[in-house]
């Protein structure tokens, strides 16, 4: 057995020349210490009857992966807790000490199970606390009040065991499961196991599900906060109907994500595909769904025992998959469900507004303050916010009230949970009056001639910032008159304040961009006026100078939904392309999207932003000019020079590399959202450059999806766009697949109508997969190539394209796989026919008869 750390450190402080007497006394003290906690770790992974585990001792699984012992959460906002034996300086500490299991070999202290979640042990009681096997065979945490009295802090339940005939022991298994088993080995299930005890973590081998015979429910329950592992607000379980649910743990029981029982097998298939397509989880995990006469459950198996993986129910209710990265020494978030933070019921607490695209996600409503700022710092937002000023409402009798309260609107929000509909209120004024006459009414909304009111706390108010789900609803929250007076007082100065704020904001934005660009491109003194050559870096142009450079925007190169592109020449003879954005709102959005994405990154396959202009209501972007225009002109225009196969192949690889850079190599994952031939530009050497980042969406590395109101171009839209769900980089993969088919065929992927014996629609992507299955690829190739192409490369491109356009995003490869496949470093099998595309063709065939 290992000596207690305090004893080891005490004797290590003596000099080598200490006297033999000190050594003898020290040895006696050490023997005494070992004897008092005898056999706590005598068998390494096992605690037998008659043995006890005290603070400072721990069990370690035979593979060394997991440890069990007493610990205390210690964490300051923005930092990571360390192991129990590591001293850390923190600003927040947990309510006490806990017995739990954690990853033993990982430097970031990560618990996977806690026994006494609701009953922390105080510092004083910790000295007397022990884990042991009780006389009835249960596992218990006890401490001695005095010489004759023991108090039970925590105990296993449901173990009925005859200790006179046999004994039990607790074993920490290699998978992190603490099992209570009889000493007489049996093939039956353990008498008790930590995998069955409510926790917030699912380890490989743990189940979430239900025993149909006993009714026992295997479920996960979130923690309260970063330092309090008590039972939190959210749970994941399978209900009596076999439906997988993520829901609120306490009433009202609100389900915010579910999967039907009849389609749980499809969920496993989708997860398996997702895991196989991610390089971080490929060949690592195997999810399993079981539904038989005895039980129904989900579990997953770890295929690589050297890896560390777990699935927690986060404090905020998201179910996540985390994998340990040895390279970064951190947990990597692979998957999160629900993908939108704000979907979770009451995630920000009462009287808050949640915005999944902002940072922080949660904010108090105006005239409200954080009820517990300390808890907010620890990600425990359940207390939400409280009013700055109490409402002024007195109920004189049952029919009349006296109130000076007023209403303040919050626009573009999803309305709170639990509305009450007032049928008698047929106008907005009558709706407001009805709420004002009820002292318990805290808000109202009037939409489409429907009056809705809310009483008490307001929960689940989510706001749209232009990149989320657009909502036209307005919520009118009830405030004390004094609060609104402060709004009115401030509003009197709005014109001047707004002008000053706009000037200051614009100046600050330009200053920040300039500082970033100076550090990135080593600029030392770029002036904010005049026209410089593109060799000097990013430039802030004046509008008049761009007018002169473009000859008053006379030579139009092209255009789209957001504006037009014009050719220009700088004073140093550098040719530029100037995009002039139209429309105040949409133009501003595209301007910000392009500057914040392509303006701060560089790649050979991304178009280079030379500068910008944002004077008054003018929004212009200045790019390097692409001598050979866009890809669509070379593929679809009859008078354009024919692109050779080798040029097409290099264009395909170049675009794939550009997308891979956007998805994987930037600080945040950038989803382009509008990949099509018009947005692929070609330089003098026909090197492809991805352009037009006006629809680009950003995904934080902790999340796998993002909501956006922008949608790409018909013919290149992935099916998930149509359902309105949060999208992933796989929408770019789908669009890229369509572009590959157009590169092969030299024609649009959209349907073509032939008038021979009626109408018949031949959808090229469906034809491509059919011909690929038949081995007749040559009939798909662009006739202008006149048979001059590399068949092996063409088959490779066609396979990749057809995998990219699969209906389900989980069936599509990631861009890292696409690049490897196009470069000949990875082989793709022949893909199946996407059902949605097949249905399009079948529907059109039926219509022709």
Q: Could you give the residue ranges of the DSSP H alpha helices within 233-368?
A: 264-277
The residue among 665, 647, 629, 652 whose CA lies nearest residue 737 is 652
Query: Is 727 within 8 Å of 720 (Cβ atoms)?
Result: yes
For 395, residues 6+ apart whose C-beta sits below 8 A from its C-beta are 401, 439
Strand, coil or helix: what is 7?
helix
Q: Could you give the residue ranges of the DSSP H alpha helices within 48-149?
A: 123-126
Evaluated on CA atoms 229, 231, 232, 235, the torsion sign reads positive
Question: For residue 203, what is the enclosing H or E element?
Answer: none
For 839, residues 6+ apart whose C-beta sits below 8 A from its C-beta are none
3-state helix, strand, coil in the chain (%, to 5): 30, 25, 45
Active site residue 392: no
* Residue 831 DSSP code: P
The residue among 758, 703, 693, 783 whose CA lies nearest residue 732 is 693
Catalytic residue among 200, 314, 438, 674: 674
* Residue 280 DSSP code: T
The residue among 453, 455, 450, 441 whose CA lies nearest residue 423 is 450
Specify the pairing of strand 474-479 against strand 450-455: unpaired
Strand partners, 407: 478
Helix/strand/coil (H/E/C) assignment for every residue in 395-440: ECCCCCEEECCEEEEEECEECCCCCEEECCCCCHHHHHHHHHCCCC
Burial-class residue 758 by CB neighbours within 10 Å (0-12, 13-18, 19+).
exposed
Tell me the C-alpha distance between 186 and 179, whole Å. Answer: 13
Tell me the C-alpha distance between 713 and 561, whole Å. Answer: 10
Q: Could you give the residue ranges of the DSSP H alpha helices within 554-695?
A: 584-597, 631-636, 645-660
Query: Is 813 within 8 Å of 277 (Cβ atoms)?
Result: yes
Q: Is 689 annotated as a binding residue?
A: no
Query: Is 566 within 8 Å of 553 (Cβ atoms)?
Result: yes
- Buried b / exposed e along 609-648 (16+ C-beta atoms within 10 A): bbbbbbeeeebbbbbbbbebbbbbbbbeeeeeeebebebb
CB neighbourhood size of 46 (10 A): 16
Specify the pairing of strand 539-540 against strand 609-613: parallel
Tell me the C-alpha distance between 332 and 340, whole Å. Answer: 18
Q: How far is CA 203 from the centre of its chain?
A: 20
Integer Rg of the chain from CA: 33
Could you please report the per-residue DSSP string of 773-826?
HHT--GGGS-GGGTT-S-HHHHHHHHHHHHHHT-SSGGGSPPHHHHHHHHTTSS
Tell me the C-alpha distance between 810 and 726, whole Å. Answer: 14
Given phi > 0 = left and psi -120 to 50 = alpha, else beta, which region is 243? Answer: beta
Specify the pairing of strand 413-414 against strand 539-540: unpaired
Question: For residue 209, what is the enclosing H or E element?
Answer: strand 208-211
Dihedrals φ, ψ of 636, to 5°? -115, -15
Q: Which residues are annotated as a binding site?
A: 579
List active site positions. 674
Q: Which residues are annotated as a binding site for ATP?
A: 579
């Amino acid at each position: 057995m290992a000596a207690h750390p305090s004893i080891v450190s005490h004797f290590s402080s003596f000099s080598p020349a200490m006297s033999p007497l000190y050594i003898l006394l020290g040895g006696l003290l050490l023997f005494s210490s070992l004897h008092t906690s005898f056999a706590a770790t005598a068998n390494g992974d096992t605690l037998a009857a008659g043995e006890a585990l005290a603070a400072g001792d721990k069990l370690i699984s035979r593979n060394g992966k997991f440890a069990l012992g007493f610990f205390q959460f210690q964490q300051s906002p923005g930092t990571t807790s360390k192991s129990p034996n590591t001293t850390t300086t923190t600003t927040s500490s947990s309510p006490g000490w806990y017995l739990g299991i954690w990853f033993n070999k990982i430097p970031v202290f990560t618990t996977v199970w806690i026994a006494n979640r609701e009953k922390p042990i105080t510092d004083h009681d910790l000295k007397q606390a022990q884990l042991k096997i009780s006389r009835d065979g249960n596992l218990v945490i006890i401490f001695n009040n005095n010489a004759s009295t023991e108090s039970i802090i925590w105990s296993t339940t449901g173990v009925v065991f005859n200790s006179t005939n046999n004994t039990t022991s607790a074993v920490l298994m290699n998978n992190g499961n603490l099992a209570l088993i009889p000493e007489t080995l049996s093939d039956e299930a353990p008498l008790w196991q930590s995998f069955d005890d409510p926790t917030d973590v699912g380890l490989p081998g743990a189940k979430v599900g239900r025993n149909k015979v006993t009714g026992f429910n295997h479920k996960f329950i979130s923690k309260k906060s970063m330092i309090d592992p008590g039972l939190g607000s959210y749970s994941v379980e399978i209900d009596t109907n076999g439906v997988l649910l993520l829901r609120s743990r306490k009433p009202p029981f609100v389900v915010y994500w579910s999967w039907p029982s009849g389609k749980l097998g499809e969920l496993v298939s989708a997860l398996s595909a997702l895991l196989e397509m991610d390089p971080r989880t490929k060949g690592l995990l195997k999810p399993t769904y079981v539904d038989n006469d005895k039980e129904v459950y989900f579990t997953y198996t770890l295929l690589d025992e050297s890896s560390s993986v777990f699935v927690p129910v986060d404090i905020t209710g998201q179910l996540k998959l985390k994998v340990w990265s040895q390279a970064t020494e951190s947990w990597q978030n692979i998957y999160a469900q629900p993908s939108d933070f704000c979907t979770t019921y009451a995630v920000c607490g009462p009287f808050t507004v949640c915005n999944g695209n902002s940072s922080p996600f949660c904010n108090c409503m105006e005239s409200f303050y954080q009820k517990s700022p300390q808890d907010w710092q620890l990600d425990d937002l359940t207390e939400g916010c409280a009013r700055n000023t109490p409402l002024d409402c007195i109920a004189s009798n049952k029919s009349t009230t006296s109130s000076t309260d007023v209403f303040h609107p919050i626009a573009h929000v999803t309305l709170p949970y639990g509305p009450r509909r007032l049928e008698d209120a047929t106008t907005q004024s009558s709706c407001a009056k009805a709420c004002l006459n009820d002292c318990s009414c805290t808000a109202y909304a009037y939409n489409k001639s429907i009056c809705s009111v809310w009483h008490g706390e307001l929960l689940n108010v989510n706001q749209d910032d232009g990149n989320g789900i657009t909502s036209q609803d307005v919520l009118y929250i009830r405030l004390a008159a004094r609060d609104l007076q402060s709004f009115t007082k401030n509003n009197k100065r709005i014109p001047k304040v707004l002008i000053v704020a706009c000037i200051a904001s614009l100046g600050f934005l330009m200053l920040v961009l300039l500082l970033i660009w100076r550090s990135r491109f080593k600029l030392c003194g770029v002036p904010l006026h005049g026209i410089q050559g593109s060799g000097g870096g990013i430039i802030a142009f004046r509008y008049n100078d761009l007018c002169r450079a473009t000859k008053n925007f006379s030579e139009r190169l092209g255009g789209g939904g957001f504006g037009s592109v014009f050719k220009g020449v700088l004073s140093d003879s550098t040719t530029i392309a100037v995009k002039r954005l139209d429309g105040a709102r949409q133009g501003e959005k595209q301007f910000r999207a392009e500057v914040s994405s392509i303006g701060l990154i560089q790649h050979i396959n991304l178009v280079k932003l030379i500068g910008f202009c944002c004077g008054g209501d003018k929004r212009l972007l200045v790019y390097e000019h692409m001598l050979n225009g866009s890809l669509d002109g070379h593929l679809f225009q009859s008078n354009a020079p024919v692109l050779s196969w080798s040029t097409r192949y290099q264009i395909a690889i170049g675009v794939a590399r550009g997308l891979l850079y956007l998805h994987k190599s930037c600080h945040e994952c950038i989803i382009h959202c509008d990949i099509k031939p018009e947005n692929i530009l070609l330089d003098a050497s026909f090197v492809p450059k991805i352009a037009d980042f006006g629809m680009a969406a950003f995904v934080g590395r902790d999340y796998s999806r993002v909501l956006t109101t922008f949608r790409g171009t018909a013919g290149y839209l992935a099916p998930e766009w149509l359902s309105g769900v949060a999208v992933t980089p796989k929408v770019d993969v789908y669009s890229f697949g369509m572009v590959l088919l157009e590169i092969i065929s030299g024609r649009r992927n959209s349907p073509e109508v032939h008038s021979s014996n009626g109408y018949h629609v031949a959808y090229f992507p469906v034809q491509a997969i059919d011909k690929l299955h038949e081995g007749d690829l040559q009939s798909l190739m662009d006739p202008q190539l006149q048979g001059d192409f590399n068949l092996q490369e063409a088959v490779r491109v066609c396979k990749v394209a057809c995998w990219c356009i699969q209906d389900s995003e989980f069936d599509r490869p990631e861009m890292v796989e696409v690049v490897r496949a196009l470069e000949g470093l990875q082989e793709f099998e022949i893909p199946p026919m996407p059902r949605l595309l097949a249905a399009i063709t079948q529907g059109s065939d039926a219509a022709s008869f």
